Amino acid sequence: MPDAATQIDPYQRRKTNSLRLIVTAGALLASFLTLRSVPTLDDALSGKPEYMRWMADKVANSVAARYGNDAAVIVLRDERTNCRQISDVNVPNPDEFYYVVSYSETGHSLCFITYVNLPKGWDQTKSLVLYPSTGKNYGQKLVGPVRAVAVSQLQMVYPMAYLSLLHWRAKIDSSSFKRAANAKFERWFNSSAQPGDSLDVEIDFPSLRADVGRNHRIVNRTLATAIFTVTFLLLFGAYKAWASYTAFRTFLSRYRPHIGFHVYLRQDLSAITSQARQAYQEEQRRALEEARAAILLKRSNEAIRARLESILSALSDEQQKHTGQECLNRGDMEEMKALTQQLQGQAGQKTSEEKLAALLDTLKQYSSGEEFDRLCANAFQMLATTGFREARSFVVEAHDQLRARSKELEEQATVETE
């Protein structure tokens, strides 16, 4: 039979694992909910809104859609170069155009530059080389380095009153659009050779605002997924904790105690089991003692009744017989005992039944309930038939035998332990 520790360990492990899962999932859930519900933290995860990047991408997509694969349309970030410092030259009859859209987040500016191939023999001072790896190309791909010169520049500087409307938390209403319309837009243009319709680019505001908030939506979707996942883990941990509690409660029912869920969570399961086992054993011991006392009392009462009946049958006084019979009919053991003593002329002395009951009481510690009941029945029967002396000898002999047996069992248990 497995020992107590071996029996309790699986329940303790299940409880510990469930609580760890609940605590971990609860901490993560609190963290994710905080990140999702606190705007400052949520925006910090989303990163700074890249207004000009998405605006440059919109312009590049629009130009690429217009010219298809006939021209390269390149977008790159440039925080240092001022669009107005780029010198343009007059190139007669250019045949290849390259459109470069550079942007600056710090300057809130967009620079649209049109380049053409540098004619052979021209001075390379004002030219630059466009590589296939330069920026992000939305149009015709470059197969190799191209040296080109600028023939036109367009710069737009956007006020924050307008850009702030693109933020995902901005409140969009008529008054905000009115403030944006009254804000100052800076526009600068210089051109020596440029197709007239290449600068006619329209940007859809709702689409642009959706692009600016793309990272924010991705972050929130990720947080929502994480919240759902840890919520599931939290519920799963709670389910496992309740299931382990139910299983442990079933195991503990052999000792007949009932523990609440809060006690199960707070206390060590080994201590709970040990306390329940001790209480159960103490209850069993008390029940056994009460059963033995009840058996002894029953046999003693039966012996007193039999003794009184025997005395009454030997009396010649009808009045005493009538009084004794009424006492028997009432069934009051104390009254019957007193009457027996009176009739025997032994007032103040113990009856044979009381003496025998006292002797039988010494057998309790060496016998089981059924065995003790059998010995009591035999002793009182012997008292009624052969007298007190034979009954006493029977009890003394039984006491010696039971004591010797108990001593032998103790010695055997000691040998097995060693």
Average pLDDT over residues 159-172: 83
Tokens for 338? 């007193």
Give pLDDT, residue 196. 45
d(CA 102, CA 77): 5
d(CA 14, CA 116): 74
User: Taking the CB of residue 140, how many other CB atoms lie within 10 A of it?
Assistant: 17
Tokens for 113? 């530059």
* pTM assigned to the model: 0.58
Nearest to 367 by CA among 377, 359, 375, 358: 375
Q: What CA–CA distances, in Å, run from 281 to 7, 132, 276, 317, 391?
A: 18, 88, 9, 55, 34
Give pLDDT, residue 20. 93
Instruction: Give percent of the chain with pLDDT exceeding 70.
Output: 88
Helix 269-314 with 333-344: angle, nearest 10 deg: 40
169-212 pLDDT, tens digit per residue, is: 888 777 766 666 666 778 888 876 544 444 555 677 788 888 88
Which range in 80-89, 123-132, 377-386 is most confidently predicted, on average pLDDT?
Answer: 123-132
C-beta of residue 265 within 8 angstroms of C-beta of residue 19: yes
Size (the chain), residues:
418
Q: What CA–CA distances, in Å, run from 142 to 74, 99, 126, 146, 249?
A: 10, 12, 21, 8, 75
- With cut-offs at 50, 70 and 90, classify the pLDDT of residue 346: very low
Three-state SS for the chain is CCCHHHHHHHHHHHHHHHHHHHHHHHHHHHHHHHHHHCHHHHHHHHCCCCHHHHHHHHHHHHHHHHHCCCCEEEEEECCCCCHHHCCCCCCCCCCCEEEEEEEECCCCEEEEEEEEECCCCCCCCCEEEECCCCCEECCCCCCCCEEEEEEEEEEEECCHHHHHHHCCCCCCCHHHHHHHHHCCCEEEEEECCCCCCCCCCCCCHHHHHHHHCHHHHHHHHHHHHHHHHHHHHHHHHHHHHHHHHHHHHHHHHHHCCCCCHHHHHHCCHHHHHHHHHHHHHHHHHHHHHHHHHHHHHHHHHHHHHHHHHHHHHHCCCHHHHHHHHHHHHHCCHHHHHHHHHHHHCCCCCCCHHHHHHHHHHCCHHHCCHHHHHHHHHHHHHHHHHCCHHHHHHHHHHHHHHHHHHHHHHHHHHHHHHC
d(CA 363, CA 373): 10
C-beta of residue 139 within 8 angstroms of C-beta of residue 99: yes
Give pLDDT, residue 94. 82
d(CA 128, CA 151): 12
380 vs 193: which has the higher pLDDT: 380
User: Taking the CB of residue 59, how many other CB atoms lie within 10 A of it?
Assistant: 24
C-beta of residue 343 within 8 angstroms of C-beta of residue 269: no
pLDDT above 70 for 161: yes
245-284 pLDDT, tens digit per residue, is: 888 888 888 777 788 888 888 888 888 887 877 877 788 8
To the nearest whole number, what is the mean pLDDT of the chain? 82
pLDDT above 80 for 299: no
pLDDT above 80 for 16: yes
At residue 184, what are phi and psi to the nearest 5 degrees? Answer: -90, 120
Q: Where are the domains of the chain?
A: 4-46+220-254, 51-212, 280-417
Angle formed at CA 248 by CA 242 and CA 254, multiple of 5 degrees: 145
